[in-house]
Amino acid sequence: MTPGTVVLLHAPGAAAASWGDMPEMLRSYGMDVIAPDVADGDGARYVARVSLIISAAGPSVPLVLAAHGAAGPLVPAIALAQRAAHRPVGGYVFVDADLPRPPGPHDHDMPAGPPDWPEAPCGYLRTHADQAAFPGRDETVRASRLRGWTVIEHEPPMAAAQALSELIATL
């Protein structure tokens, strides 16, 4: 797919800078990129702040929501907010991310997503850095494959941004 805008969602408790040079690299490939910087907040507060930043940026649609780490479980709620604002989401990418799951009884600040999520194609990018740091992520990669998602395991010397760009193109 050709996205209107790629939205890079950092993990709650991190910052947009955690994406490193990813935004600039994707822009060099001709993509429009927003990397909201939410300094504090998790759960519903994170979703609200990200949604306000996306709205203020006036993105082109369809959006591709790309989540890193703990932002993954928040993607369905962020998607719901975008759909409510008439900004269609054309795809979802999880970059070394936790996967969405239904909120449990102890998830007090976990906002619920739409019941029809995902309504657009999904993909998973596991980077070389994640393979070294989190070998236990194999289960997440396997779960992504079982869901029928495209999975790319990034290997150097290819740039992670190039792998992400290629994954987005397959959605």
Q: Which whole-number Å values give the CA distances from 59 to 40, 75, 89, 165, in the listed order?
A: 23, 17, 11, 18
Q: What is the pLDDT of residue 43?
A: 87
Which pTM value belongs to this model? 0.92
Mean pLDDT, the chain, whole residue set: 91
Distance in angstroms (rounded) separating the CA atoms of residues 52 and 132: 35
How many helical (H) and strand (E) elements, i.e. helices and strands, does the chain have? 6, 6
pLDDT of residue 111: 78
Please tell me whether residue 31 adopts helix, strand or coil conformation: coil
Q: Is the pLDDT of residue 75 over 80?
A: yes
Q: What is the pLDDT of residues 5-55, one digit of tens each?
A: 999 999 999 999 999 999 999 999 999 999 999 987 778 999 999 999 999
Predicted local distance difference test score (pLDDT) of residue 157: 77
Q: Which of 52, 102, 88, 95 is nearest to 71 (CA)?
A: 95
- Nearest residue to 53 via CA among 68, 33, 69: 33
